[in-house]
Amino acid sequence: MGTNKEESAKQYVERVIHTVKERSPNEPEFYQAVEEIAYSLVPVFEKHPHYIKHAVLERMTEPDRMITFRVAWMDDEGVIHVNRGYRVQFNNAIGPYKGGLRFDPSVNASIIKFLGFEQIFKNSLTGQAIGAGKGGADFNPKGKSDMEIMRFTQSYMNELSKYIGPNVDVPAGDIGVGGREIDYMVGQYKRLRGAFEKGAFTGKGIDVGGSWMRQESTGYGTVYFAKRMLEDQDKSLEGQRVIVSGAGKVSIYAMEKAIELGAKVIACSDSSGYIFDEAGLDVEKIKQLKEVENKRISEYTKFNSNTTFDNEESIWTIPCDVALPCATQNELDENNARALIENGVSVIAEGANMPCTHDAILAFQESDVAFGPGKAANAGGVAVSALEMAQNSSRVSWSFEAIDQMLQDIMTDIYDKSKNAAQEYGQEGNLIAGANIAGFKKVADVMIAQGII
């Protein structure tokens, strides 16, 4: 796709988006991510036309490679199943491809590409030497036995192992992929390679080279980012009413850190509905229910009679000061956003990847509600993954406290870079634009320096 010297920066962006849609039909999540990022870069292209000359956006929106493969496996009854596996290696300008693996029935090419594209900017913002990738399979791990999980992950790794390595592509966990699944993959990868390449994965168990604070990192990082947003409003987390969607590890550890910093978490949810208690929820009980007993969030009401469970209304109808969407993409729409605004919310920080729809984000921005986009607010997970890679490379292990301090410093730096970039390009207060611009410029400059490849 060539460039036209007569076109404006906006026309250039629209042409790139049009080409993306032509080349990748029926991929709405990917289009959503590309459009959100590309339009925010118009001021950059106006100020620095050499990015257009070097076709950086065209190259950045086309992944280096998209890998799809068959994953055949046998369940405990001897029945053979076939799933589809994915890995997109999007951009390795600043380091090896890096991004999680998601096992969920919703996984398809569009979702994997949207996540991988967002990862370019998120990983760039961390300041670490990591490129961008994402992967997974349309496999549902819920209800599966340990042996079924093991057989599936081993089959998945039989194919993926050809494309990854410590200096090539370093996967981690995501939805449906935790420490158990990563450890199974590490074992099969070691078996196939005939060598123990400790740095080929992150999110490993501590005894096989994992890092402290890996499971807490995304949730903690989201709260640290929200804390900085509040500080710019001359507020602290102390006494703030917080609602958190989801009840997975991001949500649980966001709740844990928010409570530790003095906030009151009054609601959280899972796919069945939400629980609410104005006096505040007990995160340790939620951990027991979700992480140990694997029960529905509604079971919490048996522990505390003052807590209500609702499976009809949205969690976003609850009045709060801070909202942390931590469940999944596009979970918070315009109607939800307007309910939050009407009820006085002051900060939204995305713990999940793209949980707010485009119209919801516009509503927040029009109402001057501070909005922290996922590529910035939830970058704590990949930041600590990069710290795990650093520990593996140097064969050392840092303490929980040391990593927590590094994470706080990284999240503060991400916030400051996003805020300053937005201000520099005439979009003060717009952290979405700021995060996109700061993340883009670092990768774009390196891409230009490395030539047309």
* 31 & 89 share domain: no
| Rounded-to-integer distance, Cα 110 and Cα 364, Å | 26
Domain-embedded: residue 410: no
Final residue of a domain: which of 368, 388, 405?
Answer: 368
| Rounded-to-integer distance, Cα 86 and Cα 69, Å | 7
Nearest to 131 by CA among 97, 167, 89: 97
Residue 4 has pLDDT above 70, yes or no: no
Residue 409 has pLDDT above 60, yes or no: yes
* 236 & 361 share domain: yes
The residues, any chain, with a CB within 8 Å of residue 80's CB and separated by 6 or more, are 72, 73, 74
Instruction: Report whether 51 contacts 45 (CB < 8 A).
Output: yes
Tokens 């990082």: give the residue.
221
The whole-number pLDDT of residue 7 equals: 86
Q: Which of 113, 122, 134, 204 is catalytic?
A: 134
Confidence of residue 5 (pLDDT cuts 50, 70, 90): low
Q: Which helix (H) or strand (E) holds 377?
A: helix 374-377
Residue 3 has pLDDT above 90, yes or no: no
Residue 36 has pLDDT above 80, yes or no: yes
Q: pLDDT tens digit string along 190-225? A: 999 999 898 999 999 898 889 999 899 999 999 999
Q: Mean pLDDT across the stretch 39-66?
A: 97
* 126 & 22 share domain: no
Domain-embedded: residue 179: yes
The whole-number pLDDT of residue 269 equals: 96
Domain-embedded: residue 385: no
What is the count of structural domains for the chain? Answer: 3
Please state at what angle helix 28-40 crosses helix 358-366, rounded to 10 degrees.
30
Q: pLDDT tens digit string along 245-263? A: 999 999 999 999 999 999 9
Domain-embedded: residue 408: no
Q: Mean pLDDT across the stretch 382-391?
A: 95
Confidence of residue 294 (pLDDT cuts 50, 70, 90): confident
Final residue of a domain: which of 197, 232, 252?
Answer: 197
Residue 134 annotated as catalytic: yes
Q: Mean pLDDT across the stretch 23-48?
A: 95
* Residue span of the structural domain in which 339 resides: 217-368
* % of the chain surpassing 90 pLDDT: 91
CATH number at residue 444: 1.10.285.10
The whole-number pLDDT of residue 353 equals: 86
- The whole-chain average pLDDT of the chain stands at 95
The whole-number pLDDT of residue 245 equals: 97
Residue 399 has pLDDT above 60, yes or no: yes
The whole-number pLDDT of residue 309 equals: 97
The whole-number pLDDT of residue 438 equals: 98
Q: Which helix (H) or strand (E) holds 394?
A: helix 380-394
Q: Is 49 left (phi over 0), alpha (psi -120 to 50) or beta?
A: alpha
| Rounded-to-integer distance, Cα 324 and Cα 436, Å | 20
Tokens 């050499």: give the residue.
50
Residue 2 has pLDDT above 90, yes or no: no
